[in-house]
Amino acid sequence: MSVAVVSYVVNDGPRPVTPGTRAKVEKAIEELGYYPNELARGLRLRQSSTIGLMTPSFTNPVYGEKAEAIQEVCLPNGYLTLFVYSGNNPDREKKLVHMFRAKQVDGVIMQPVASDPLEAIKPLQKARIPVVLLQHDCPGVPCVVLTDVRGGQLATQHLVDLGHRRIGLIKGRLPSAARAEERLLGYHQTLKAAGIEPDPALVIESDVTQNGGYQAMQELLALPEPPTAVFCHNDVLAVGAMHAVRVAGLSIPGNVSVVGFDDTAGSAYLVPPLTTVQFSRKEMGHQAATMLFRAIEQDENHEPCTVEIPVKLVVRASTGPPPQVRWQ
């Protein structure tokens, strides 16, 4: 039996093999414990069959859900997803980018934290490794973003419609804060459209952690005139903010309404369930992986573009009208 025939069975082609011959080869493979050498195959084809995926965090469940959606596209196409996180650290991100290049991954999907995303991906572009960016809108690079301004508008308008006028914002502190600024813009636009002058004292910037949300809410509650409602950059911050309200002996939404962003899996099971801005992680991951495969295949009809993922407000029990009497 020739080496070529064995190769046809192992690689399922390119030429057909009779059922009898296939059975003999598969039996020999099982008896010998043979397993294909993907490294050698990759060197020959100049492919690693590996996709690099870098997110800012492992602890935020949103990133895990995006990774799951990306893997659902990559795996059927024969690609392994190498999932790493930058920890919101530009230096760590730089090191990981160089490791992706050294590993000769076939493509990279990443959400950069460096202040200059184009500079961050330059080593990959020099090596002609296709890149798709999440939550960044960069010219000449395929990008997938949320309609963050719209998200800020939806969250703030909901609170305005409930009758709130003192509306706080807990803004995520990120090394690359483009999307945080977009949500802030939506917040400001909606307040101004409602005839409410934005108060800088009501905007607190914080680390994107539950403890950060807790401390930021404590600052807001300590103001001479505290807000009656707070919009948080994401659900992680909202969880910390809600805890601070309860520790202060106040109720949600009786004294303070809270809105999050992301609609993480646990947000509907908080006490009370969290009103939040929702988007499809599955759609975001699917779009990113599809764009990356087009770039890997060098589809000449596919120009780099930015795809926007829509958002919507999910109203739950953490929001209600402002209190009739000031609680402080």
**Looking at the domain assignment, is residue 322 inside a domain?**
no
**Looking at the domain assignment, is residue 251 inside a domain?**
yes
Looking at the structure, tell me whether residues 17 and 110 fall in a common domain. Answer: no
Query: Is pLDDT of 43 > 60?
Result: no
Distance of CA 137 to the CA centre of its chain: 14
User: 44 falls in which pLDDT band (50, 70, 90)?
Assistant: very low
Q: What is the CATH classification number for the domain harbouring 70?
A: 3.40.50.2300
Terminal Cα distance for the chain, rounded: 87
**Higher per-residue pLDDT: 205 or 39:** 205
Mean pLDDT, residues 192-217 taken together: 96
Q: What is the pLDDT at residue 42?
A: 45
Mean pLDDT, residues 276-283 taken together: 95
**Looking at the domain assignment, is residue 72 inside a domain?**
yes
Q: Is 33 helix (H, G, I), strand (E, B) or coil?
A: coil
Query: Is pLDDT of 41 > 50?
Result: no
Looking at the structure, tell me whether residues 174 and 254 fall in a common domain. Answer: yes
Looking at the structure, tell me whether residues 24 and 12 fall in a common domain. Answer: yes
User: 322 falls in which pLDDT band (50, 70, 90)?
Assistant: very high
Query: Is pLDDT of 3 > 60?
Result: no
**Higher per-residue pLDDT: 301 or 149:** 149
> Tell me: the pLDDT tens digits for 145-166?
999 999 999 999 999 999 999 9
Query: Is pLDDT of 167 > 60?
Result: yes
User: 115 falls in which pLDDT band (50, 70, 90)?
Assistant: confident
139 CB-side CA count, 13 A:
0
User: 36 falls in which pLDDT band (50, 70, 90)?
Assistant: low
Q: What is the DSSP string of 111-137?
A: ---SS-HHHHTHHHHHTT--EEEES--
Query: Is pLDDT of 45 > 50?
Result: no
Looking at the structure, tell me whether residues 174 and 272 fall in a common domain. Answer: yes
Query: Is pLDDT of 35 > 60?
Result: no
Looking at the structure, tell me whether residues 167 and 232 fall in a common domain. Answer: yes
For residue 143, the one-letter residue type is: C
Q: What is the pLDDT at residue 173?
A: 85
**Looking at the domain assignment, is residue 208 inside a domain?**
yes
**Looking at the domain assignment, is residue 165 inside a domain?**
yes
Looking at the structure, tell me whether residues 20 and 74 fall in a common domain. Answer: no
Looking at the structure, tell me whether residues 237 and 184 fall in a common domain. Answer: yes
Looking at the structure, tell me whether residues 236 and 94 fall in a common domain. Answer: no
Q: To which H or E segment does residue 40 belong?
A: helix 38-45
Looking at the structure, tell me whether residues 154 and 256 fall in a common domain. Answer: yes
User: 215 falls in which pLDDT band (50, 70, 90)?
Assistant: very high
| Listed residue (194, 153, 166) closest to 257, CA to CA | 166
Residue 272 and residue 260 in contact, taking contact as beta carbons nearer than 8 Å: no
Mean pLDDT, residues 86-90 taken together: 90
User: 325 falls in which pLDDT band (50, 70, 90)?
Assistant: low
Considering the chain, what is the average pLDDT of its residues? 88
Q: What is the pLDDT at residue 76?
A: 87
Domain of 197, in residue numbers: 148-279
**Looking at the domain assignment, is residue 297 inside a domain?**
yes
**Looking at the domain assignment, is residue 316 inside a domain?**
no
Q: What is the pLDDT at residue 64?
A: 86
Looking at the structure, tell me whether residues 136 and 223 fall in a common domain. Answer: no
116-120, 174-178, 179-183, range with the lowest pLDDT: 174-178
What phi, psi does 85 have (nearest 5°)? -130, 150
Q: What is the pLDDT at residue 130?
A: 95
Domain count, the chain: 3
Looking at the structure, tell me whether residues 160 and 275 fall in a common domain. Answer: yes
Residue 36 and residue 10 in contact, taking contact as beta carbons nearer than 8 Å: yes
Query: Is pLDDT of 10 > 70?
Result: no
pLDDT > 70: what percent of the chain?
Answer: 86
Mean pLDDT, residues 271-292 taken together: 95
Q: To which H or E segment does residue 51 belong?
A: strand 50-55
* Cis peptide leading into residue 227 (ω within 30°): no
Residue 277 and residue 259 in contact, taking contact as beta carbons nearer than 8 Å: yes
**Looking at the domain assignment, is residue 321 inside a domain?**
no
Looking at the structure, tell me whether residues 155 and 275 fall in a common domain. Answer: yes
Residue 15 and residue 7 in contact, taking contact as beta carbons nearer than 8 Å: no
Mean pLDDT, residues 201-224 taken together: 96
Q: What is the pLDDT at residue 271?
A: 96
51-65, 81-95, 110-124, range with the lowest pLDDT: 51-65
Q: Is 98 helix (H, G, I), strand (E, B) or coil?
A: helix
